Structure formats: structure tokens, C-alpha cells
Structure 1
């Protein structure tokens, strides 16, 4: 049985900031002492407003129009309240406002949510992130069409069974492994979380779905492999260029996007009087400050006047990510290194072989990589057998002493 509640509608005005003789008109919904306001998008002369009567004084055309708007708004708000009562819903001011504005969940579909996310996040999220969302969204639409035989679905109709069904659909796709499935499910959960934050759904059906990522072996170069790639004389200039830029990342920890974005003004003198790179991570927009090691400086000097960047502010002649990875594979094939390299391997190599294996504290490495949590950096520490061996040797010496 529903408990008794108080519900009222009133109208108030607020003075305009730069025009004290004018005011904006609002409807105020109050339920059990808690209220929300809705702008009626009307400006009125403040001296004609009768607050006690909730009306505009006089019989002018303006007064008649404003008072008519007040009466219509009040009637629609009472209709919204009565409809919610008939639906046996728990009523509050927000629900009445949403029903009046026709913005509650019964009017929102999955396609509407997808388009809303695109519109709002397109300028906020990075291109690569949005590209991944587009793929997830295309899979959602395909799932609706092929498995449910519908083109769209109301958000309130999406339940936990829908969530599990979407996971099963993804697992049946050729070439999509567990972690790829989990990445799509993670983005679906974020979309539904957005719908919840917007009060478009009362309960998030994907909230209890647990993401199950499998640990993937991290690819990085050990000291011998790094030296082999670094010192190999390559006949093709294009291979030398891409190898050198890869090595530059091995000694700075910068991602492909961050290396590609480097400009002359990113080179600055650091606190120690030596050359540093001052930039921002393209993925998170967080500040990055990296002291330039000798190997990285040699590569910067080598390409100062390269034709590909001559006349620009760019520091290095970076090719496309796809081409760079193709050339790297050509280099590893030539050197018979049995590892599937990508440009991101350089970042892993910086964290493991270049820094941690040489005794750089994990806290420092974490800051150089701009990890938000040190636990992320600790993943690198776990894979370095040489570091474990060195630490145990030091322990043996202390115990023997």
C-alpha cells in the first residue's frame, strides 16, 4: 500500500542578471517537501507578477498569453502525476518532471542511447576510443537484428538475459577471443551506466555482469634482443627509420601516438640542466616529463634535418602505425627474433629491460609511464626474471654476511 504524500505545483520568478526589471518564469514541483523547477522559457516584467496568485497582472495580450501558459503547464504536470499514480510508481519530483518533459525511460531506446553517446563523447574521447565504441555499437545493432529480429529496443526492456545473450553472440564471432569479447562487454556496461546516470533506466541490467579478462603474456625485448635490433645495419632506409623510432620509444616509454605528436617545443631543459621531454599523454591528457637518455638523444640528433620533417616542428619522421608495425615485423624476420613485435612493445621494453631491470625504482617507472596506479606498473616487475635473480643474489649476500 502506498504511503500518503504531499504534491503541489507553484510558479516563481527569478530576476535576470543584467535586466533587473525582467524575470524568468519557472514551475516548481514539490513532493514531500522536496522540489524541482522547470523553466517555462518565458521572460516577464517583474512588476506585473503577482506571486500570491501565481499570475501576471492585467488583461493585456502578454498577460493573457503568460497566464494561459501557466494554466497549460499546471494541467500537464497534474496529468503527469496522475499517470504515475495509475502506473503504481514511486513518485518523486524528478519523475514528474521527466514525465512532463517526455524524457523518462519509456521514450528512450538503445539506438537513441548510442547516438546520444556519439554526440556527447565525440569531442571528449580520443579517436581510437570512439572507433572501438563504433565497433561495439555495430555489434549491438547486429545482435538486435540477427538474434532478436528487431531493429531497436527500449532501454527498460533490456535485462540481464539480454546482457548474457549479447556476450554469447560476441563469442560466436570468428576471430574474437575472450579479451576482445570482454572489451566489448565493458563498453556495453559503460553505455548502460550512462543511461543509469541520466535516469533513463531505474536499474542497470549489466551491473552484475562480471568482466573476466585473461592474463596475456607481455611481449618485450630482453637486453640481447634490444642490442641486436639497435645495432643491426639495415640496407633499406625505411627500415632504419622505423627501427630507430621504435628504439627511441624503447628509451623513453612513449606510445606511438605520443611519439608522432612530438614537436620542437616539447624539448625543454629539466631540473637537472639536461634535456627533457615535456608533453602530455594523448590517451589521458596527463602531463609527462621524461629525461632524455643518450640513446634517445642520438636518434633525435640523427633526424633533425630529415626531408620528411624538414620545415615542420616535428621531431621525428613517423610513419603510420600500420606501416610502422609492418616494417618492425620485417626487421624481426631479418634478425630471426621469434617475437611478434608492435610499436607498443617498445613501451613494455622501456618498463622492463631499460628501467626496472637496471634498478630504477618501480615508483619512478610508474611516474615515467604515467600510470594512475602502481599496481599497473607492478605487472612489468613480475615478468623480469633477471631482476628477481639479482634481488635474490643481493639477499643471499646479506644473509651470508
Structure 2
């Protein structure tokens, strides 16, 4: 009761025994807002901005976060919603525990969902609907992840493998195209004829702003990549949608890539993002400078590129051969 009185005084609101009693009993709470109210309003705005300033994948991510939060409330607190002023540091800890145990999320996935949830809390704080930040003493970090990539010989095997199943052949071609261009899944899905530009020497380049960051990618089109584009010029999907390649959903791509890996004898967990890492690693290993690779990947700085690129044994051996020659006694 004393806390309610103090809160009313701090908010410069009228204080009376009846007002305090009503707030205590939860009868006079028109100024209180709920978590789901804020979350759904945020997601509705995201849907309206989809394809304009937000990638469709971002919208899907927040929809997933909303469903997880609803499931967490039902499982942990046996309720469908809660008032914003009921969200405490303990609430955040309980959500973290739920994601790791009930949902079996790894550390990085848990962190991503909590960061999504934190954004909703920041909106409520900015509107003055919450007085205390439940994330005040919470610090996030991502654990480093070793990303898979294909070595040159593995990429050759994949390119040259005869595949008779149409859906797998298409996925193979699109994956290899990404390995040869460094384009992210969303960008290759949206690749259109206007993104192919000839320079003054007649060389074809891919010039396209990345969907995720809007940074411009400038990528010379290799012969093998051009062959893949030519293969699908008359494809019905490409002609109907005005795109260069018949790209299916990310989920289907990743599922079919596992089949491809088995067929080609590649003992690696292939995914659409693996292709981007393959491009960065192989281009650097072939002698491209990190600045040029960053430009092709559409990175704002080379620090991002360093996260993608792996040092190959062949690169180490090449450098050491030079060292051995220079140090010959």
C-alpha cells in the first residue's frame, strides 16, 4: 500500500484512499499495459514494413519470438498474458531457463530470442509504461561458432556430380552459385536481370544492395556462375517471377542440401550460409585481398569478413614455401 502511494506521488497523480484501494485490488488499471499488447503491436508494424525497411526473415523471427513468449507464460506462469509492471529480473531469468531447458535452445539461440524480447521491453520503457528495466543487470554475449565451408575439391565434386532428381539438381546449382558469388540466401532469391551489369570491358558484374544491410555488393560473375544462370533462362518460375534462379524456401534448401551432401560423399553439415563462408574462404585463399572480398560480400568493414574466412592448409603451405625459400641457409 505504501509503495502504491509512493508511485502515485512520483507520477504526480491524485492520491486518495479509494484510488489506492482500487489500484491494490486491480480495479483501476486503465493506464496499465500488457506484454502481449505491446508485442503484437510491434509485430503488426513489422509486417507492414516487410519488404520495405525490414527483411521478411526479420518479421518471421519476431513472430516466432511472440509464440515462444506466449508458450513460456502458459508453461511457467499458467497465464496467457501479464502486465508490464509484473516483468522483473526474475521473469527474464525464468525465460532464459525455459528456452534452454524446455525448448532445448543452444546458448546463441537463447541469446537471440532474449534480445528480441528485450526490444519489446525497450519500447515499453520508452513509452513510460514500465518504471524499471528488467534487463538492467543482464549482459549478453555470443559464443564463437565454427562455420562449415567447402574446400576447393569438395566444391568441384558438387559442381560436377550428375544428379537426376530435378529438385536436388536445382538446389545444387543455387548452392554452387552462392559459393561462386558469395550472395546470401535472401539476395540470391531476389536476384533479377537488372542486377547484372556489364562494365566498359564487357565483363558482367552482380551489383545489388544486400537485403539485410543495404550495403552494395559488387561481384564479378565467374564463368561457372554464368552457366548456372543460363541454365534457368527458360525456367517457368524464373519467367513468372522475373528472377534469375528458381530458389525455393530456406528451410527446403537446407533440408535438400543434407541429401546432396550424402549423395556427393561430403561429410559436412551444408546450409545456405555455408556457401557464403565457402566463397570468402576460397577467394582469400586464391589471393584476393580482404578489402576486395569485403566489398564483394557487401560488408561495411573487413572485421565482418574475417569472421567468415577460414585459413586453409593450402594457404599456410603456400606462405611457408615462400618463407622457406627466403630463409634458405
TM-score by length of structure 1 reads: 0.69
CA contact (8 A) 1:109 1:154 kept: yes
For residues 332 and 86 of structure 1, do their structure 2 counterparts lie closer, same or farther at Cα, with a shift above 3 Å needed? Answer: closer
Matching of residue 357 in structure 1 with residue 285 in structure 2:
yes
Q: CA deviation at 1:90?
A: 7.0
> Equivalent residue for 1:137?
66
| Secondary structure class of the residue paired with 2:227 | helix
Whether the aligned pair in 2 keeps the contact of 1:352 and 1:381 (CA below 8 Å) is yes
**Partner SS for 2:48:** coil
Within 2, Cα distance between the matches of 1:121 and 1:237? Answer: 36
1:387 maps to 315
Q: How far off its partner does 1:230 sit?
A: 1.0
**3-state SS in 1 of match to 2:217:** strand
**Cα RMSD after superposing both structures:** 2.8
Q: Which runs of 4+ in 1 moved over 6 A?
A: 83-86
Q: Residue 296 of structure 2 corresponds to which residue in structure 1?
A: 368
Please give the alpha-carbon distance, in whole angstroms, between the structure 2 residues aligned to 1:318 and 1:280. Answer: 18
Kindly tell me: are residues 397 and 193 of structure 1, through their superposed partners in 2, closer, same or farther at Cα, counting changes over 3 Å?
A: farther
Match in the other structure for 1:112:
37
Give the whole-Å Cα distance in 1 for the aligned partners of 2:204 and 2:248: 25
Q: Deviations over 1:66-115 (max 9, x none)?
A: xxxxxxxxxxxxxxxxx999833176xxxxxxxxxxxx995222112112
Q: Which residues in structure 2 correspond to 1:207-356 (within 5 Å)?
A: 207-270=136-199, 273-310=202-239, 313-353=242-282, 355-356=283-284
Query: What CA distance in whole angstroms lies between the structure 2 residues aligned with 1:174 and 1:108?
Result: 27
| CA–CA separation in structure 2 for the residues paired with 1:283 and 1:242 | 22
Residue 325 of structure 1 contacts residue 341 of structure 1 at CA under 8 Å; is this kept in 2? Answer: yes
Q: Helix, strand or coil for the counterpart of 2:144?
A: coil
Q: Is the 8 A contact 2:277 2:309 kept in 1?
A: no
Work out which structure has the larger RCO, using CA pairs closer than 8 Å and 6 or more positions apart in sequence.
2
- In structure 2, the residue matched to 1:88 is 9
Please say which structure displays the higher CA radius of gyration: 1
Work out whether residues 261 and 267 of structure 2, in 8 Å CA contact, stay in contact via their aligned partners in 1: yes
SS in 2 for 1:209: coil
1:337-385 Cα shifts (integer Å, max 9, x gaps) = 11121222211111112x1111211122122112234222112334434
Q: Does 1:199 align with 2:128?
A: yes
Q: What is the CA–CA distance in structure 1 between the aligned matches of 2:7 and 2:103, rounded to whole Å?
A: 49
C-alpha contact (below 8 Å) 2:149/2:278 kept by paired residues: yes
Partner of 1:23: none
Structure 1: tracts of 5 or more residues without a match: 1-82, 92-103
Q: Corresponding residue for 1:12? A: none
Q: How far apart are 1:195 and its partner, in Å?
A: 2.1
Task: Give the aligned partner of residue 50 of structure 1.
Answer: none
Q: Give the drift of 1:395.
A: 4.1
Task: Write the deviation string for residues 30-87 of structure 1: whole angstroms up to 9, x where unpaired.
Answer: xxxxxxxxxxxxxxxxxxxxxxxxxxxxxxxxxxxxxxxxxxxxxxxxxxxxx99983
Cα pair 1:105 1:155 within 8 Å, conserved: no
Q: Which range moves more in the overlay, 382-391 or 211-220?
A: 382-391
Higher helix share: 2
TM-score, normalised on structure 2? 0.83
Cα offset, 1:269, TM superposition: 1.6
Distance in 2 (alpha carbons) for counterparts of 1:169 and 1:313: 44
Shift in Å, 1:214: 2.2
Deviations 1:239-268 (A, max 9, x none): 322211211111111122211211112211
